Amino acid sequence: MSEASFFPPASIWRIALPVPLPRLFDYLPPAGAGEAGDPVGARVRVPFGRRELVGWVAEVGAPEPGTDPAALKQVLARLDPEPLLHGELLESLRWLARYTHAPLGEVLATALPGPLRHGEPLPDTHAWAWRLTEAGATARPGLRAGKPRRLSDLLDEHGELDEDRLDDLLEDWRTAARALAKRGHAERLAVPATAHAPAPQPGPPLNDEQQAAVDAILATPGFTPFLLDGVTGSGKTEVYLRAIADCLARGKQALVLVPEIGLTPQTLARFRARLGVPVHALHSGLADGERARTWAAFARGEARVAVGTRSAVFLPLREPGLIVIDEEHDGSFKQLDGIRYHARDFALVRAKALDVPVLLGSATPSLESLRNAQAGRYGHLRLLRRAGTAQPPRVRVLDVRKRPLQAGLSPELLERLHGELRAGGQALVFKNRRGYAPVLLCHDCGWTAHCPRCSTPLKPTPMTVHGGGRRLQCHHCGTRRPAPDACPDCGGLALQSQGAGTERIEESLAARFDEFPVLRIDRGSTQKRDALENLLAQFGTAPGVLVGTQMLAKGHDLANLTLVAVVGIDEGLFSADFRAREKLAQLLIQVAGRAGRALKPGEVLLQTHHPEHELLITLLSGGYHAFAEVELAQREAAGFPPYAHMALIRAEAQQVEAANAFLAMARRELQQAAAQRGTERSALEINGPVPAPMPRRAGYLRAQLILSAPQRRDLHAALDAALPAIYAAPEARKVRWSLDVDPADL
């Protein structure tokens, strides 16, 4: 018997609602609730102000002392006979709400595909098929030639055909099917979504390092985190595939998380070919309905393998066997707005709750994961050699001080590019700045085009020049405008694009190497999902140059790519953000790893004005791990993660005073909370209010408070105690504010 029927009038439902308030909302259960079974995790429709909302039953219990149950509103409808969320996933999401200090209702809303969030029923995961009725079989020989006749013949021949197959066999078959159905000649029926997957293809025999890694993973079926720390091209994906195959053989499900730009058709095709079961892709380009169907197929235990980006971490796993996070260091695993979760960290929490192994793979592990491996919390599996016969690329630094540059490229670099092309190779020029040029300058008076709505501490933010000089765009807030013909200040006509982005490099190289194709790959040139695939397919393996941003740093195996030139990294060497050096080192190693992935040896050219910079020297002489050791020591000395735990409270307002007043209030509340708990001053440091790194963006003034503590629990205890007052304070109504636990940057 459920509690609801045990205490009929006094028992209430506490509902998690997707509203930015850190609490649950009490409602009376709907009529007949007593008979329907435990409602916790079920969705409900409730009145909320003048609206109706879909929420989740978080708890069932007695009303707070002093509340009059008669004054409560009643749940309008319970939407799920069986709770949609239950067991491990519900408990893990409750953990996530506590950890991010976010409202449970918003966490649940973030975790669910749109249709489920909005109260729609769990969709069918059946496939649909068509067959002839008896009447249809009789009538078939008498039908006139045409689509209905063709469809009748097909159904007669095959007996029953899946809609997927029909798509391949007969164009516009749906119209014909409707015509047949109307006459009662054909019918549609639900069939199990069977796996039309090809037989699995064998992979290459593993080398010793790969085998040792696979053995270690298979030896421990329960919760064990592993860091698979293997150089680019060392065959990490092969290790994942073996571990997943083993998981499938045991009848279990596997979840693979990949970075935003790593989920390429190439990757999916490789998984599909090797595993012999349907592989479900989950990414931001997927239609809502498809996302909900995949969710349902995993919840019902029908689907076996998912490969997805960040939000795939919320898939329900009914028969969990393994979680893999490829390129675990990648920044796209952290959500930067709304519920600011980290998919890798949440995957670890889920793997522990599910009691399955979790595999974090990278050639450039995050300092957090490296530290965990060094401290013995993760198994540390290393792949030091490239798989097969591929050789590590040679890296050379090109000192460009005092050299004449053309679109940012030195004569030596251009000469090497040309040589490589003439020898039949392909080259990649990597520049992490899209657009034509970063600045538009008036040569007569010094005016520059800047964004009217954004600025940094020292100066207005320049707008990036696009469209070969015709358009301006702010990369911080998206503001666009045509480039002026004349200087708005002096009226002069000497407007010049300064510096070079990928567009300008492409233009310059195309003019120089007119006998070879030059292809630009960045967010501008690949708006559509398939665009990148099509571009690369066109590019093929013939000699040519790719110009690109970090979109090219991973995911694509370009077998004939033999030369990688990296330009314009210098500003990253001197950034103030405490993670900037780590990100730069990872990027350099990953981009360099694109070269020489197959038979031909690769070469990497690093063009810089700072050839003696300590980061470059360490990276070049000792590789990523030498860099990481230096960096970890510096983080420890400076009290930064992974040696401290941080949180960031940011406020934005039209007036900077409002933002600062809110943060000052938050600071007082936090200090008071820490003092009441007896936390020593050094155990929780609060910095700020200080201006955000981008103090003005899209017209809003932005400031922040940085919290830092050597012990995670001191940070969380202070937040737990202070947040109710922070939410409720009058200062909070005058700003937009957010809390980010474990911020990606400060």
Interface with ligand ADP (CB under 6 A): 204-207, 210, 230, 232-238, 387-388, 557
Q: Which of 489, 577, 636, 657 binds Zn ion (CB under 5 A)?
A: 489
* Nearer to ligand ADP among residue 114 and residue 204 (C-beta): 204
Q: Hunting for tokens 């990294």 — which residue is that?
A: 569
3-state SS class at 237 = helix
Bridging pattern class, strands 43-48 and 51-61: antiparallel
User: Phi, psi (5° rounding) for residue 71?
Assistant: -80, -10
DSSP state, 456? -
Those residues whose C-beta lies under 8 Å from the C-beta of residue 397, and which sit 6 or more positions away, are 606, 608, 611, 616, 620
Q: Does 651 bind Zn ion (CB under 5 A)?
A: no
* Nearer to ligand ADP among residue 238 and residue 368 (C-beta): 238
* Nearer to ligand ADP among residue 240 and residue 662 (C-beta): 240
Select the span of 126-134, 253-261, 347-355, 442-450 touching Zn ion (CB under 5 A): 442-450
Q: Does 447 bind Zn ion (CB under 5 A)?
A: yes
Select the span of 450-458, 537-545, 589-597, 713-721 touching Zn ion (CB under 5 A): 450-458
* Token pair belonging to 378: 């993760």
Q: Does 552 bind Zn ion (CB under 5 A)?
A: no
Please say whether the beta carbons of 432 and 568 come within 8 A.
yes
* Nearer to Zn ion among residue 600 and residue 696 (C-beta): 696
Please say whether the beta carbons of 631 and 589 come within 8 A.
no
Nearest distance, CB of residue 383 and ligand ADP, angstroms: 7
Nearest distance, CB of residue 701 and Zn ion, angstroms: 13
3-state SS class at 479 = coil
Axis-axis angle for helices 236-249, 265-275 (nearest 10): 40
Pick one of Zn ion, ligand ADP, none as the site partner of residue 237 (Cβ within 5 to 8 A by kind). ligand ADP
Helices and strands (H and E) in the chain: how many: 21, 32
Pick one of ligand ADP, Zn ion, none as the site partner of residue 487 (Cβ within 5 to 8 A by kind). Zn ion
Nearest distance, CB of residue 536 and Zn ion, angstroms: 32
Nearest distance, CB of residue 358 and ligand ADP, angstroms: 17
Q: Does 490 bind Zn ion (CB under 5 A)?
A: yes
3-state SS class at 144 = coil
d(CA 135, CA 132): 8
Pick one of ligand ADP, Zn ion, none as the site partner of residue 177 (Cβ within 5 to 8 A by kind). none
- Closest to 299 measured CA to CA, from 77, 91, 123: 123
Give the angle subtended at the CA of 463 by the CAs of 460 and 466, to the nearest 5°.
170
* Nearer to Zn ion among residue 178 and residue 481 (C-beta): 481
Pick one of Zn ion, ligand ADP, none as the site partner of residue 442 (Cβ within 5 to 8 A by kind). Zn ion
Please say whether the beta carbons of 520 and 502 come within 8 A.
yes
Q: Does 451 bind Zn ion (CB under 5 A)?
A: yes
* Nearer to ligand ADP among residue 237 and residue 432 (C-beta): 237
CA dihedral 417, 421, 425, 431 (to 10 degrees): 40
Pick one of ligand ADP, Zn ion, none as the site partner of residue 335 (Cβ within 5 to 8 A by kind). none
d(CA 88, CA 355): 10
Nearest distance, CB of residue 84 and ligand ADP, angstroms: 36
Nearest distance, CB of residue 496 and Zn ion, angstroms: 11
Nearest distance, CB of residue 421 and ligand ADP, angstroms: 24
Buried-exposed string 121-134: b where 16+ CB fall within 10 A, e elsewhere: ebbebebebbbbbe
Nearest distance, CB of residue 705 and Zn ion, angstroms: 24
Those residues whose C-beta lies under 8 Å from the C-beta of residue 212, and which sit 6 or more positions away, are 381
Please say whether the beta carbons of 204 and 238 come within 8 A.
yes
Pick one of Zn ion, ligand ADP, none as the site partner of residue 447 (Cβ within 5 to 8 A by kind). Zn ion
Q: Which of 79, 474, 505, 670 binds Zn ion (CB under 5 A)?
A: 474
Q: Does 460 bind Zn ion (CB under 5 A)?
A: no
* Nearer to Zn ion among residue 442 and residue 558 (C-beta): 442
Please say whether the beta carbons of 438 and 472 come within 8 A.
no
Q: Does 454 bind Zn ion (CB under 5 A)?
A: yes
Q: Which of 116, 322, 487, 616 binds Zn ion (CB under 5 A)?
A: 487
* Token pair belonging to 624: 């990523």
* Nearer to Zn ion among residue 159 and residue 482 (C-beta): 482
Nearest distance, CB of residue 237 and ligand ADP, angstroms: 3
DSSP state, 134? H
- Kindly list the residues in this chain that would bind Zn ion in the complex (CB under 5 A): 442, 444-445, 447, 451, 453-454, 474, 476-477, 479, 487, 489-490, 492
